[in-house]
Amino acid sequence: MAMGRILEYDLRVICHERAGEKGLIFEPQIIMTLDDVVGTLDGILYDAAEPSQAVAVVEIKTAWSQVRSPIENWRYMCQVMAYCKLAKCTEARMPVVNLPRSHGPPNVEARLYTISFEQGEINENWNLLLNVRDTLIKLKLEEN
104-134 pLDDT, tens digit each: 666 788 889 999 999 999 999 999 999 999 9
* Residue count of the chain: 144
Count other C-beta atoms under 10 Å from residue 80's C-beta. Answer: 28
- Domain span holding position 21: 2-143
> pLDDT tens across 88-100, in order?
999 999 999 888 7
- pTM beyond cutoff 0.85: yes
Each residue's pLDDT tens digit, 24-60 = 999 999 999 999 999 999 999 999 988 889 999 999 9
CATH number at residue 85: 3.90.320.10
Number of domains in the chain: 1
Give the Cα separation of 16 and 10 in Å (integer). 10
Q: What is the pLDDT of residue 84?
A: 98
What single letter denotes the amino acid at residue 4? G
* Per-residue pLDDT reduced to its tens digit, 100-112: 776 666 678 888 9
